[in-house]
Amino acid sequence: MGLLSSGEPLIWEECKKYSKHIQRCGIKQFIHQYNKLKHRRNDKMYWGDEIEYMIVRFDNKNRKAQLSLKSPEIIKYFGNIEQKCAAKGKAQFSLKSPELKGVA
């Protein structure tokens, strides 16, 4: 994807004016993509493909979802598994990415 448009960044107070609109558009896009892709299974991964996750904690009683702050521990846990698999010649996945440099 290339540059969609050029312009000046907004200050935070200006950004807040558009937050509801951005939230509504994001929700609509998510629902559209979910409905379009919900039946896909067992897609092949190719070199360069990535999967991104968010770790979320759900509070069903209060109907809230919060982003979990336990990502570093989880990344370290899976990094240890990755190292053990690689040592046995059975590396199945990789956590390598620029975003995680120095975390795992």
Q: Count up the domains in the chain and report the number.
A: 1
Domain with 71 in it:
12-36+53-100
Measured CA to CA, the distance from residue 34 to residue 31 in angstroms comes to 5
Pair type for strands 64-67 and 56-59: antiparallel
Q: What spatial distance separates the first Cα and last Cα of the chain, rounded to whole Å? A: 29
pLDDT band at 88 (very low <50, low <70, confident <90, very high): confident
Q: DSSP class of residue 103? A: T
21 lies in a domain?
A: yes
Q: Residue 60 domain-assigned? A: yes
Q: Would you say residue 73 lies in a domain?
A: yes
For residue 2, being part of any structural domain is answered with: no
Phi then psi for residue 56, to 5 deg, are -120, 145
Per-residue pLDDT band at 104 (split at 50, 70, 90): very low
Residue 42 forms part of a structural domain? no
Task: Dump pLDDT digits (tens) for 4-15.
Answer: 777 888 899 999
Task: Evaluate whether residue 81 is within a structural domain.
Answer: yes
**C-alpha distances out from residue 52 to 8, 12, 37, 95, 100, Å:** 29, 27, 16, 11, 12
**Would 46 be classed as within a structural domain?**
no
Residue 71 included in any domain: yes
Per residue in 29-84, pLDDT (tens digit) is: 999 999 999 999 888 878 777 777 788 889 999 999 998 888 788 878 888 888 88
Name the band, by pLDDT with cuts 50, 70 and 90, for residue 101: low
